[in-house]
Every structure is written in structure tokens, then in C-alpha cells.
């Protein structure tokens, strides 16, 4: 609690999916001076907006969560925008943080930065051993460049910047828009719609064989808060659960929890994405004591319950 007392913390993307939970964690720890820049007021792709942000917020710490994100379809439709927006936001916010004397900078990367054929479980040392999976490579590479910037700024300027690599997130407040959402909210949306309208089937992308690891959003927010308090080194750190599930199994589980009893049809003309994703999470436990607390089935049920209670609200591309 004392760590956060009197600290001015800026959380970019703090009004988004993950960011809103990070802000909750900071407030629960006693942090009272939290600045949450909104995109309509601070376009972080533009340098002048970034400079104005620092002038207005005068932060001691920055947690950079703002990102242009989406599922496979959104990445395929916007590779240039996903690369440019994420690279420019991150590099400019870090550079201005250095120039303004920020005492600590927390960069949030992405599991999409890992090479397509990374051995399972993914170890942080494997980040540079190949090219990312093609459908989200521009996004993954833009975020990985922030690791290079973080480490090089530490080496040259003594800038205390850390880099965290969360696996796929899910939970309440996620984006459930089928055009931009990730797999869990998309499946929940499809299964509920089919159940309520008596549809005999839902159609899912790919063949269902890829595996994914998921972390409940509140657990990820706890990991970020712990790292901000306790970790001050250059090496990237995975944030996850260390457990994977196939997309086919995931679809069946969500259908069961929602109560959809129809067929699940696989559209093999659509891409699978990366074959497997599962992280080695030992470094996070060792360096700042993080272990995910939420069981996957329980987390899914909480997510479904939240969506049922909050449908009809406007969806938007969230910050990761």
C-alpha cells in the first residue's frame, strides 16, 4: 500500500478492457492520483498529443496499455493500421516518458509477438527465434519493437522500463462485437444468439485444432500491479496460467455453459492462426510472486453472466 501512496500514475488505455481492471487494482492498493487519457482528448499516435498528455498528467509512473487490437479477422483487415498505430503509440509514449523523467514505465506486450512455431511452453528466450504467425504478425512485431526500445533505453539512459507479455485475455467488460472480438467473446455471443433464436448450428473459424492459453482479466491486472511494485529488470516476463485448451474443446465448453445444444460447424476455409499457445509462467512467479487465481470454468461463467447482464451496450475496439 505504501508503494502507491503519493504516486502519480498514468494508465494509457485505462478506460478499456484490461485497463479498467488495472485501475481498480491500483485504487484498491491506495493509489489516488491516476490519470486516464481518453482517445478523444489524447490521440497517442500523434506526438503533440503525447507531449500534452505528459504536461497535463506529470506522471511518476506510466502503465502503457493503449493498443489497437482485435481478433484474426480484424488483424487481417487492418495490418497496416495495427502496425502503425501500435508502433507509434508505444514508441512516442516511451520516448516522452524518458524526456519527462518518469521513474518507472510498464510496457504491455503481446503473446502474438512469439514466433509461429515456438516450442511449447513458450519461454521468454524464444521471442526472437522466428517470425510471428502471419495473420497477426504486424501487430505482434509492432509491440515487440517496444521491447527493443525498453531495453535499449535502460542500457543507454538508465530508464526503468519493464516489459510484460500477457497471453490471451478474457472476462467481463470485454469486446463482444463479432467484427473485432477475440475468440471467447465471439463464441459466447454466437452461442447465446443461436440458443435464443433457435438456430440449429453455429459456425466457427478454422478446424478447431489450435490450442490457446487464456488468463482471466482480473488476474492479469493483478500481475501488472505486482510487477509495477516489485520488478525492475530488462528481461521480458510472460503473464499467463501455463494451461492450454483446443479451440474445439473451448467451443464445446462455452456451448455447455451457455446451454446451446446445437451443432458446431467448422469453416476450414478460414485461418486457424498460430498452431499452439501456452506460456512458461515460472519467471513471473519467481520474480514478483504472481500465480493466476481464477479457474478457467469459473472465469468463463463470470464472463457469460456479465455479458448477459450488459448486452445492448455499445461495443468498441478495446485497449489491451
Q: Mind telling me the catalytic residues?
A: 139
Residue 129 neighbours by CB distance under 10 Å: 12
User: Cα separation of 35 and 90, whole Å?
Assistant: 17
Omega within 30 of 0 (cis) for the link into 144: no
Best CA proximity match to 307, nearest among 155, 187, 185, 223: 185
Q: Is-contact 118 130, C-beta < 8 A?
A: yes
User: Cα separation of 66 and 80, whole Å?
Assistant: 17
Alpha carbons within 13 angstroms on the beta-carbon side of residue 23 total 18
Best CA proximity match to 94, nearest among 35, 41, 159: 159
Best CA proximity match to 302, nearest among 136, 194, 184, 140: 184
Q: Rounded to 10 degrees, what is the CA torsion of 4, 67, 276, 251?
A: 100
CA 96 to chain centre: 23
Amino acid at each position: 500500500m505504501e508503494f502507491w501512496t503519493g504516486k502519480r500514475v498514468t494508465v494509457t488505455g485505462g478506460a478499456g478492457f484490461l485497463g479498467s481492471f488495472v485501475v481498480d487494482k491500483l485504487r484498491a492498493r491506495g493509489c489516488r492520483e491516476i490519470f486516464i487519457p481518453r482517445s478523444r482528448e489524447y490521440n497517442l499516435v500523434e506526438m503533440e498529443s503525447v507531449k500534452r498528455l505528459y504536461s497535463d498528467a506529470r506522471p511518476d509512473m506510466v502503465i502503457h496499455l493503449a493498443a489497437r487490437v482485435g481478433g484474426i479477422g480484424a488483424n487481417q483487415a487492418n495490418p497496416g493500421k495495427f502496425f502503425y498505430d501500435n508502433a507509434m503509440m508505444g514508441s512516442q509514449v516511451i520516448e516522452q516518458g524518458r524526456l519527462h523523467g518518469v521513474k518507472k514505465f510498464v510496457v504491455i506486450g503481446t503473446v502474438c509477438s512469439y514466433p509461429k512455431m515456438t516450442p511449447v511452453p513458450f519461454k521468454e528466450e524464444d521471442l526472437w527465434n522466428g517470425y510471428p504467425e502471419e495473420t497477426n504478425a504486424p501487430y505482434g512485431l509492432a509491440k515487440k519493437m517496444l521491447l527493443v526500445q525498453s531495453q535499449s533505453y535502460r542500457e543507454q539512459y538508465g530508464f526503468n522500463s519493464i516489459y510484460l507479455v500477457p497471453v490471451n485475455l478474457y472476462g467481463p467488460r470485454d469486446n463482444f462485437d463479432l467484427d473485432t472480438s477475440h475468440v471467447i467473446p465471439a463464441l459466447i455471443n454466437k452461442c447465446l444468439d443461436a440458443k435464443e433464436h433457435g438456430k440449429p448450428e453455429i459456425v466457427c473459424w478454422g478446424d478447431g485444432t489450435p490450442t490457446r492459453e487464456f488468463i482471466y482479466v482480473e488476474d492479469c491486472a493483478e500481475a501488472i500491479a505486482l510487477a509495477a511494485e516489485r520488478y525492475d529488470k530488462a528481461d521480458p516476463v510472460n503473464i499467463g496460467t501455463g494451461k492450454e485448451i483446443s479451440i474445439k474443446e473451448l467451443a464445446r465448453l462455452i456451448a455447455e455453459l451457455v446451454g446451446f445444444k446445437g451443432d458446431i460447424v467448422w469453416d476450414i476455409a478460414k485461418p486457424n492462426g498460430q498452431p499452439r499457445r501456452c506460456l512458461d509462467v515460472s519467471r513471473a512467479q519467481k520474480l514478483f510472486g504472481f500465480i493466476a487465481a481464477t479457474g478457467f470454468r469459473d472465469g468463463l461463467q463470470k464472463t457469460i453472466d456479465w455479458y448477459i447482464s450488459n448486452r445492448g451496450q455499445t461495443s468498441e475496439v478495446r485497449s489491451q
